[in-house]
């Protein structure tokens, strides 16, 4: 997720879950071909399985970028045909390409010819007023013939005029029935459902689920059975000691105790600017011990908050 996730975030999520397949945020072909490849593509081997997501609309450029992704050791390369932002529309890629299935097929074909790793596509259920099932069905049929076997469907129409990217993730209604029907019509394809999913559990009628915002705000929904948050914090403390900025690591961990009775204390300790600037990863252990301490029994919110303040001091 652009501006939210990065390799520190993926490393953290991997400590939480050994089962989840992780994805980079969208990286544009322009950024890779004219920018710092290492900065965009470097990742930790512990992140596997991990995919890189590309944004672009020029087959030759996408093929070159897919090659770079493969050379860096990613397990999959994904093409974004779902992003509605204006910046992306100006570059003529993202969700607006749903209206050009033949061009997307050319892109996928060129990428498939360039690499051995799977080439997958993430898209929407429709675009603007083109929101009937057959529009999406035609898109998937055309693109699958070019070699894509796995489709991630954000189950909402993309509305390119009048809605912000944020509204585009909330306003158009979710159409899970479209995604289930897609699987029925194309049983040989792998169809993954995205949009509003809050649990890492099978969804009837599709092959899998992709979680976006919930995975970021409440990462414990991805947790392996038997794993404890303390295990994760200890692993992250070790990891943070090898990174240049504790702040860059800790910011992704704010949701770790989401729903816990001392979640607020955790967030407050991990956002303490003075402590973060000292760059001492022991802050993570300290915060974990404060949150998990049994010093303060369960109590109503207000009294708890006072007790937490005492604890922090």
Ligand X SMILES: Cc1cc2nc3c(=O)[nH]c(=O)nc-3n(C[C@H](O)[C@H](O)[C@H](O)COP(=O)(O)O)c2cc1C
Residues recorded for the chain: 313
Total interface residues for ligand X by CB under 6 A = 21
Q: Residues 43, 71: contact at Cβ < 8 Å?
A: no
Q: Which of 62, 194, 275, 291 binds ligand X (CB under 6 A)?
A: 194
Q: Which stretch binds ligand X (CB under 6 A): 80-88, 133-141, 258-266, 288-296?
A: 80-88
Closest residue by beta carbon to ligand X: 212
What does the alpha-carbon distance between residue 184 and residue 103 come to, in Å, rounded to a whole number? 25
Residue 118 main-chain phi, psi, to 5 deg: -60, 140
- Candidates 79-87, 137-145, 235-243, 289-297; binding stretch for ligand X (CB under 6 A): 79-87
Annotated catalytic residue, options 83, 96, 107, 112:
83
30 binds ligand X (CB under 6 A): no
Among the residues of the chain, which ranges form H helices? 7-16, 29-34, 37-41, 59-71, 86-90, 101-114, 133-145, 176-185, 213-217, 229-240, 246-250, 263-270, 273-277, 282-292, 301-312
Q: Does 207 bind ligand X (CB under 6 A)?
A: no
107 is catalytic: no
Out of 73, 133, 212, 235, name the contact with ligand X by CB under 6 A.
Answer: 212
Footprint of ligand X on 241-300 (CB under 6 A): none
State which of residues 137, 196, 205, 208 lies at the interface with ligand X (CB under 6 A). 196
Stretch that binds ligand X, among 14-22, 66-74, 190-198, 222-230 (CB under 6 A): 190-198
Non-local CB neighbours of 267 within 8 Å, separated by 6+ positions: 254, 257
Side-chain half-sphere exposure of 136, counting CA atoms within 13 A: 35
Residues within the interface to ligand X (CB under 6 A): 1-4, 25-26, 53, 80, 82-83, 122, 154, 169, 194-197, 211-214
């Amino acid at each position: 997720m652009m501006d939210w996730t990065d390799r520190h975030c993926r490393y953290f999520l991997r400590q939480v879950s050994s089962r989840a397949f992780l994805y980079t945020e969208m990286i544009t072909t322009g950024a890779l071909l004219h920018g710092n490849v290492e900065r965009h593509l470097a990742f930790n081997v512990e992140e596997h399985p991990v995919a890189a997501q590309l944004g672009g609309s020029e087959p030759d450029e996408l093929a070159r970028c897919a090659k770079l992704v493969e050379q860096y050791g990613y397990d999959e390369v994904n093409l974004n045909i779902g992003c509605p932002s204006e910046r992306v529309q100006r570059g003529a890629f993202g969700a607006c390409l749903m209206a050009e299935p033949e061009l997307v097929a050319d892109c996928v074909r060129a990428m498939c010819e360039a690499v051995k790793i799977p080439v997958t596509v993430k898209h929407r259920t429709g675009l603007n007023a083109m929101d009937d099932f057959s529009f999406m069905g035609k898109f998937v049929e055309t693109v699958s013939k070019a070699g894509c076997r796995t489709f991630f469907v954000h189950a909402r129409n993309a509305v390119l005029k009048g809605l912000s990217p944020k509204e585009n993730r909330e306003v158009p209604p979710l159409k899970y029935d479209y995604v289930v029907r897609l699987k029925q019509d194309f049983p040989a394809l792998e169809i993954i459902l995205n949009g509003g999913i809050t649990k890492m559990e099978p969804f009837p009628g599709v092959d899998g689920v992709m979680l976006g915002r919930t995975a970021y705000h409440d990462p414990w929904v991805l947790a392996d059975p038997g794993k404890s948050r303390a295990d994760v914090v200890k692993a992250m403390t070790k990891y943070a000691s090898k990174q240049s900025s504790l702040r860059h690591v800790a910011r992704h961990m704010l949701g770790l105790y989401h729903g816990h009775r001392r979640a607020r204390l955790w967030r407050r300790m991990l956002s303490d600017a003075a402590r973060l600037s000292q760059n001492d990863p022991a802050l993570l252990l300290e915060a974990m011990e404060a949150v998990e301490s049994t010093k303060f029994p369960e109590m109503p919110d207000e009294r708890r908050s006072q007790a937490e303040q005492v604890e922090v001091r």
